[in-house]
Amino acid sequence: MHRVRVIRPRKWEEAVWPGMEPFDTVFTEEISDDLLTDGLLHIARVARKRFLRPNGSMCPRRIVVWGALASVRVKQQSGFDLRQFNTFRSSAGVVYDLEEVFLNEPGAAMLLSDPIHLFSLDLNKPPEDLRRSGGTSSLEAAASADGIFNCLVTWFELEMPSGARVSFAPNWADPQHMYVRAIKQRLHFVGYERQLRAGDVVALHLAQNDTAFDVTAPADRELSKTGRLVPWTYAPLLSYHFPMIAETVRNDKFERALLRAIVEFKEEHGRGPHVLDIGSGTGLLAMMAARGGAAKVTSLEMVPAVAAVARQIVQANGYSHVVQIINARSDELPAELMGSKADILVSELVDDHVIGDGILMSHADARRRLLVPSPTIVPRSGRIFAIPIQLRYPTPAGVSMDVISSQRAEQVVLTRPYHSFKLQRCPPEHYRILADPIPLFTFDWARGDIDSLAHAREMPPKPFTFSASGTFNAFALTFDLQMDDDLSGDYSGGLDNVGCHWDQPIRFLPVELRVRKGDKLHLASRHNDNDLNWMKISGIRPEMLHGMLGARNLLEPSMRYVAERLGVVLQVGD
């Protein structure tokens, strides 16, 4: 420990301590996904001026920024042409990198050019030269493949004083989940689609200052006259829509259940059913219903821009004579606008907590006003589970990461005290399953009591047994959907579904517990109309807490109210 000194200055330029001498090397990891936001250039200037010997070096010493032309587009899903939905690719809400697209949307992305050198930063330059970094410049990129250009992807590589390089280029052959990578690629959607042929040249504009850089490809107005360039209108959209419609398992499960419901209805009534679709999105589920034999489909979408594009998609696929897209929330729709009550309801108003998008309230209202008595609802119900896990940072040889792991336990002080992962895409050494999934709640929105459907409920303490020894510091929440009465058609949002577009919310314990195989604890939980808002573990033995990390003050009786509001409560003893 005598070789390491930790100080906490208010500003880098104010860092000083007794006996301070210049350094041979200054290391920094203040490098963000967009490179400059965390103040890298400022740190390099201060280091050169105050901390480094005349021949000392920054680490990294040099950074090279690259870019490439790319196409990131949905094309067809389940036999439907969804290309018009790509207008929402320009949304600022679509925030994930290219490798995540490779994983979440197979076949949606391709690079259309070789890497383009955008700019370099020499962090060993004199401070006055680093101050002059930035400005604007014009570049050109030549397409190396035919395709529809709508996106620029950027990344960078770090050059160390030894000459070694660390590249964050997209890994096409073996893409990794973005939650296990230090740096992500950036996608810059250009606001239009342009048909490129190999050899075509695209003009780029680069702007850089101390804290940001941006690369754009201004639209060529002459090309728009030929039809080779189609501009988009900006519209906000949550980023999960594209992975959701790309998940083949999800699409197949919904269509199978819908088709079965329609066939059974036609056999019983001798006519095609009226189907209500809450949450149009692309119009995919509505078109599935129409293709499956529905006589009429009323599809509701509350976002005006999304509703407008869904109408275009439905028309382009030839189903506008069956499907009506209405821009409205279901709970604000006058029932008479539907013409008649619906026989079947299909909807995916679920999130990774099942009920977070308001499915309980919306389905209770629909059953009261918009559906016939005893309708068929797809999916029929949903269930949520909690999996006890060990989720700690992998420990490099000879280095303890306990302090960082304790920060995970202390995340209970957040307003929404959980993070999300796709654990099935994480390396196995990153987590350990310590017990079987614990069923928490079943949400029977098809057959449950309509007046209490959205009421809060509490699950009394339920025993569970650990199947493995380890450090118990979190629950991974998963869910499944019962699509219909045939249980073989259920949809799993759990770890067994590798391509699942939903994450698993991770609820961290306020204090880690040391558990052994065969140990037993009890779990109680509570939900309101849109969240699993409370979990309580009881039966904890004092030795389970001995030497463990976490916010121990939350175990005090006087802190019980605070712990309950934060979402995870630990109780020593019964």
Distance CA 508, CA 554 (A): 13
- Point out the least confidently predicted range of 127-131, 134-138, 458-462, 466-470: 127-131
pLDDT at 462 over 60: yes
For 251, phi and psi rounded to 5 degrees? -60, -45
Element (H, E) at 192: strand 186-196
Mean pLDDT of 355-369: 95
More confident residue, 486 or 1: 486
AA letter at 397: A
Vertex 24: Cα angle to 18 and 27 (nearest 5): 90
How many other CB atoms are found less than 10 A from the CB of residue 562?
16
Per the CB < 8 A criterion, the answer to whether 567 and 535 are in contact is yes
pLDDT at 94 over 50: no
For 218, phi and psi rounded to 5 degrees? -55, 140
| Residue 388 structure tokens | 């006890």
pLDDT at 416 over 80: no
**Range from 15-24, 245-254, 390-399, 495-504 that averages highest in pLDDT:** 245-254
Distance CA 323, CA 307 (A): 12
Please give the pLDDT value at position 199. Answer: 97
Please give the pLDDT value at position 309. Answer: 93
The model's pLDDT over 271-281, given as tens digits with 9 standing for 90+, comes to 999 999 999 99
Confidence label for 89 from pLDDT (cuts 50, 70 and 90) = confident
Please give the pLDDT value at position 483. Answer: 96
pLDDT at 220 over 80: yes
Confidence label for 132 from pLDDT (cuts 50, 70 and 90) = low
Q: How many CA atoms lie within 13 A of 250 on its CB side?
A: 24
DSSP 265-326: HHHHHSSPPEEEEE--TTSHHHHHHHHTT-SEEEEEESSHHHHHHHHHHHHHTT-TTTEEEE
Please give the pLDDT value at position 237. Answer: 65
pLDDT at 1 over 70: no
Please give the pLDDT value at position 149. Answer: 95
Name the percent of the chain lying above pLDDT 70: 91
CA nearest neighbour of 242 among 74, 79, 356: 74
Mean pLDDT of 444-472: 95
The model's pLDDT over 292-306, given as tens digits with 9 standing for 90+, comes to 999 999 999 999 989
AA letter at 157: E
Residue 416: alpha-carbon gap to chain centroid: 15
pLDDT at 365 over 90: yes
pLDDT at 139 over 80: yes
Mean of per-residue pLDDT scores for the chain = 89
- Point out the least confidently predicted range of 191-195, 403-407, 520-524: 403-407
Please give the pLDDT value at position 550. Answer: 79
Name the percent of the chain lying above pLDDT 90: 63
Per the CB < 8 A criterion, the answer to whether 272 and 340 are in contact is no
Angle, helices 284-291 vs 248-269, to 10°: value is 40
Confidence label for 412 from pLDDT (cuts 50, 70 and 90) = very low
| Residue 125 structure tokens | 């330059």
Distance CA 369, CA 373 (A): 10
Mean pLDDT of 154-175: 94
CA nearest neighbour of 302 among 382, 375, 352, 362: 362
Please give the pLDDT value at position 95. Answer: 52
Confidence label for 329 from pLDDT (cuts 50, 70 and 90) = very high
